[in-house]
Structure 1
Amino acid sequence: MEAQKSSKVYIALGSNMGNRYENLKKAIKAISALDNTKLIKSSNIYETEPVGYLAQDKFLNMVILVETNLNPLMLLRKLQEIENMLQRKRLIRWGPRTIDLDILLYDKLTINLPELQIPHPEMLKRAFVLIPLKDIEPDMEIYGKDIDRYIDACNDKIGVKHFKLFKD
């Protein structure tokens, strides 16, 4: 697929193996180095309890906003390459990982493909995604609802603790 006009994309990052903070920094550096892709904003970093598979270490999570000319599927492929470069292993669903990169929102697009769903299908249930997203876009509305309404409905928000400001 060919490149397209510049689009606003929100990407969630998470890590709970190795040096979690360094993993986030390396992922952001690699994303910023992608052709026609520019880092615009980054959220605070939060330490969070694992979801799904609980027998693992806590995560560091954050969200970044980038502008890119890469189309959604090409961006997905590039993010998967970055995950592989950072030694991501897909052994257990929701299991430990050096890095996890998820496209949350891509402009106002809705995509429903086997390999990519946008908006991300789990994001509205996950405080560890919504709270950092709110750092970047405090007045964001998703499906016509204020982001705070989704955060208030999350059961996992108590497990989301501010860790540090992101500095590259």
Structure 2
Amino acid sequence: MPDTAFKTATLGLGGNLGDPVKSMALALRALDEREDCRVSAVSRLYRTPPWGKTDQSFFFNSCACVETTLAPEALLDVCLEIERGMKRERIERWGPRTLDIDILTYADISQDAPHLALPHPRMTDRGFVLMPLADFAADMIVDGKSVREWLARADIAGIEVADQSPNWWRRS
């Protein structure tokens, strides 16, 4: 009998092409409408400078907590399918995109698999991930430190709140 208990995963969402806020909202709604997923928390919406490849438009970023019965790799497949539905093209690493959904954490799983490393290997270096994640999971431990502790060390220059409401994604 498969384990159908809900597990907690955290996701990072972002984009800077087209209407990224609408794309992220549609992605969160698509996850929340599934029987095997439910969105239990969403951060405020942030406007963030590009990271890695800096000669591009600012991004919008958010994080979400999802309760799911999907295994980590199956959740990744669902997220990638949602990205494809939003016309995401993987042309250039850290380049512009309509939508990016990263699995940041999944329960207490730590793995370094080819297609899915958990926790996300660069999340503790990225202010644009840590700032929204701290909105609902500041005390969550990642790699031995709380999100709050990682955030205190992160570069958050230029990151600003674009929408104070954690319900931004529910608006039409």
Cα displacement (A) at 1:35:
3.2
Q: Residues 86-115 of structure 1: CA distance to partner in whole angstroms, max 9, x if unpaired?
A: 000111100000000000000011121100
Gaps in structure 2 of 5+ consecutive residues: none
> Which deviates more from structure 2 when the two are superposed, residues 82-91 or residues 3-12?
3-12
Following the alignment from structure 1 to structure 2, what is the Cα–Cα distance between the partners of residues 13 and 162? 15
Q: CA RMSD in A?
A: 1.3
Following the alignment from structure 1 to structure 2, what is the Cα–Cα distance between the partners of residues 3 and 102? 24
Q: Residues 50-92 of structure 1: CA distance to partner in whole angstroms, max 9, x if unpaired?
A: 0111111110000000100000011101110000000001111
Q: Which residue of 2 aligns with 1:134?
A: 134
The percentage of aligned residue pairs carrying the same residue is: 33
> Which deviates more from structure 2 when the two are superposed, residues 139-148 or residues 76-85?
139-148
Query: Counterparts in 2 of 1:1-168, with a 5 A limit?
Result: 4-155=4-155, 157-164=156-163, 165=165, 166-167=167-168, 168=170
Following the alignment from structure 1 to structure 2, what is the Cα–Cα distance between the partners of residues 53 and 77? 26
Letter in 1 for 2:12: A
Q: Is the 8 A contact 1:141 1:147 kept in 2?
A: yes
Partner SS, residue 158 of structure 1: coil
Following the alignment from structure 2 to structure 1, what is the Cα–Cα distance between the partners of residues 153 and 79? 29
Q: Is the 8 A contact 2:138 2:146 kept in 1?
A: no
Q: Is the 8 A contact 1:12 1:61 kept in 2?
A: yes
Cα displacement (A) at 1:148:
2.4
Following the alignment from structure 2 to structure 1, what is the Cα–Cα distance between the partners of residues 4 and 106? 13
Q: Is the 8 A contact 1:12 1:103 kept in 2?
A: yes
Q: Residues 14-55 of structure 1: CA distance to partner in whole angstroms, max 9, x if unpaired?
A: 010111211111111111123311110100010000011111
- Paired residues in the alignment total 166
**Which stretches of structure 1, 4 residues or longer, exceed 4 Å deviation after superposition?**
none
Following the alignment from structure 1 to structure 2, what is the Cα–Cα distance between the partners of residues 107 and 19? 31
Partner SS, residue 157 of structure 2: helix
Letter in 1 for 2:35: D
> Which deviates more from structure 2 when the two are superposed, residues 120-129 or residues 14-23?
14-23
Cα displacement (A) at 1:3:
6.1
Cα displacement (A) at 1:121:
0.3
Cα displacement (A) at 1:149:
2.1
Q: Residues 100-150 of structure 1: CA distance to partner in whole angstroms, max 9, x if unpaired?
A: 000000001112110000100010000110111110113222233232221
Gaps in structure 1 of 5+ consecutive residues: none
